[in-house]
Amino acid sequence: MKPNDYNTVTSTAVIDDNASLQQFYHITNELSRIKRVKFTGKLDEADNIEWNFKYRGHALTLQYNIYGGVTLSPHNGKDVKVVNELVMKIKAGSNF
């Protein structure tokens, strides 16, 4: 086993930790309409929703959780810069 096999780095970026389900759906609609994102997978549970999509070739997950709000995370840890860039655009306004 290599020394860093168990290192886990959280690369999840918080968009809004007090977001409602309605705000989550607003963000998904804006991503679809403005960025022409196609959602590739959806997991809808009572207290957690995760929607997977590709943004500029990077696999990402938009998540809503009743306890943690709306977050964005990459599937690959190398895509943290892309996540942070998109989160800043989302936070800046509806026409990101």
**Are 24 and 39 in contact, with CB atoms under 8 Å apart?**
no
pLDDT band at 96 (very low <50, low <70, confident <90, very high): low
Classify residue 65: in a domain, yes or no. yes
Query: Per-residue confidence at 1, pLDDT binned at 50, 70, 90?
Result: very low
Measure the N-to-C terminal CA separation of the chain; round to a whole number of Å. 44
Domain assignment present for 26: yes
Q: Which residue segment(s) compose the domain that 52 sits in?
A: 13-92
Q: Which tokens in the block code for residue 65?
A: 């959780």
Domain presence at residue 8: no
CATH number at residue 74: 3.30.160.690
What pLDDT is stored for residue 95 in this prediction? 62
pLDDT of residue 10: 58
Cβ proximity of 28 and 51 under 8 Å: yes
If one compares 18 and 3, the residue with the highest pLDDT of the two is 18
Q: pLDDT tens for residues 6-21?
A: 444 458 999 999 999 9
* Total structural domains within the chain: 1
Residue 58: inside a domain: yes
Residue 5 lies in a domain: no
